[in-house]
Amino acid sequence: MSEKEKPKYGKLIEGAEQLSLGISIVVAILIGIGLGMLMSDWFNTPWLLWVGVSWGVGGAILNVYKAYKKNVASLDELKDDVRYKKYQQQKDDDEDDK
């Protein structure tokens, strides 16, 4: 694809994808806190706030794990790409020296 055919906003889209992970972490924790506060008020038990915080943190950790798996999958696709074969061969040669 030539320079003229490349999308103008490619870098912006790539940056937004990475930014979305940070936003999803914050949103997951805030939703957990909100649900914990709501349950705490409904049932008049203050410890339910901490249950909500735990749910939020668990959701944030799950989002990070999913992003990690997505990045690993995209790197595995590049492993067999012809453009990167020479780098893989250099790595294999370096491992033999140990």
What pLDDT score was predicted for residue 2?
54
What is the distance between the alpha carbons of residues 18 and 58, in angstroms, rounded to a whole number? 20
- Residue 48 is assigned to a structural domain of this protein: yes
What is the distance between the alpha carbons of residues 16 and 64, in angstroms, rounded to a whole number? 16
- Residue 17 is assigned to a structural domain of this protein: yes
- Residue 2 is assigned to a structural domain of this protein: no
DSSP character at residue 4: T
Q: What is the pLDDT of residues 16-53, one digit of tens each?
A: 777 888 899 999 999 999 999 999 999 999 999 999 99
Token pair in block for residue 73? 């999958």
**How many structural domains is the chain composed of?**
1
- Residue 86 is assigned to a structural domain of this protein: yes
- Residue 47 is assigned to a structural domain of this protein: yes
Please tell me the least confidently modeled range out of 42-46, 76-80, 82-86. 82-86
Give the range of the structural domain holding residue 54, as residue numbers without chain letter: 11-96
Quote the mean pLDDT of the chain.
83
Estimate the share of the chain in helix, then strand, then coil, as percent rounded to the nearest 5: 85, 0, 15
**pTM of the full structure:** 0.67
- Residue 68 is assigned to a structural domain of this protein: yes
- Residue 5 is assigned to a structural domain of this protein: no
